[in-house]
Amino acid sequence: MRKIAVFASGSGSNFQAIVDAVVAGELQADIQLLVCDKPGAKVVDRARKHGIPVFTFLPKTFASKADFEKEIVSELQAYGVEFIVLAGYMRLIGEVLLGAYEGRIVNIHPSYLPAFPGKNAVGQALEANVAETGVTVHYVDSGMDTGPIIEQVKIPVLPGDTETTLQERIQKAEHQLYPAIINKLVQKDIVGGIVQ
């Protein structure tokens, strides 16, 4: 079974959906490690509750992104991690991590990319007054939500939607889509750093 690490920064609802899918046998992967850049985040408690090892760090205590990413890569290698899943990790991945895991890092984003990349995608969609937004699973590259798209679903924006109501519907879709796509990806062979 493929050994994966999940990176998250916040409450960890997508992390929980991934854990639940593993427990239910719907996702054939071993979660070896949670990587979190906010030691007090709720996702850390979720991981510990499930007995999943946690690596937390404070970026400001490192001289550079390269320095903390070297530390992360060292942790990932110690656990034999083969595949990285970003689930609400609020940092751009830098050259060190990309170099070590190119083609083996995926992210989920709460919009129908390329529309509304970056932070507050739900708020961006509402402000733009669009009829629909969505959810996108994509490979990670050096840009902000610019990597090759793997799968997308559209989510209608309903009259009277607030950030809260739209976010809830988007998260419901994310929690179904992401574990299913991760399962497909980890069942495939990794050849030359790219999932085939």
Residue 138 annotated among the catalytic residues of the structure: no
pTM for this predicted structure: 0.93
Task: Give the per-residue pLDDT at 189.
Answer: 59
Mark the ranges of the chain whose per-residue pLDDT is less than 50. Answer: 190-194, 196
Angle between helices 13-23 and 42-49 (to 10 degrees): 10
In the chain, where the domains are located: 2-109+136-152+172-195
Task: Give the per-residue pLDDT at 192.
Answer: 41
**Domain covering 2-109+136-152+172-195, topology:** Rossmann fold (3.40.50)
- Going by C-beta distance under 8 Å and a sequence separation of 6 or more, which residues neighbour residue 127? none
Binding residues for (6R)-10-formyltetrahydrofolate: 65, 90-93, 107
Task: Give the per-residue pLDDT at 146.
Answer: 94
Binding residues: 12-14, 65, 90-93, 107
**pLDDT per residue over 2-18, tens digit each?**
999 999 999 999 999 99
Tell me which of 50, 109, 138, 175 is the catalytic residue: 109
Task: Give the per-residue pLDDT at 188.
Answer: 77
To the nearest 10°, the Cα dihedral for 149, 66, 120, 26? 50
Minimal CA–CA distance to 104: which of 7, 16, 176? Answer: 7
| Cα 27 from chain centroid (whole Å) | 15
Task: Give the per-residue pLDDT at 4.
Answer: 97
- Say which residue the tokens 């007054």 belong to: 129
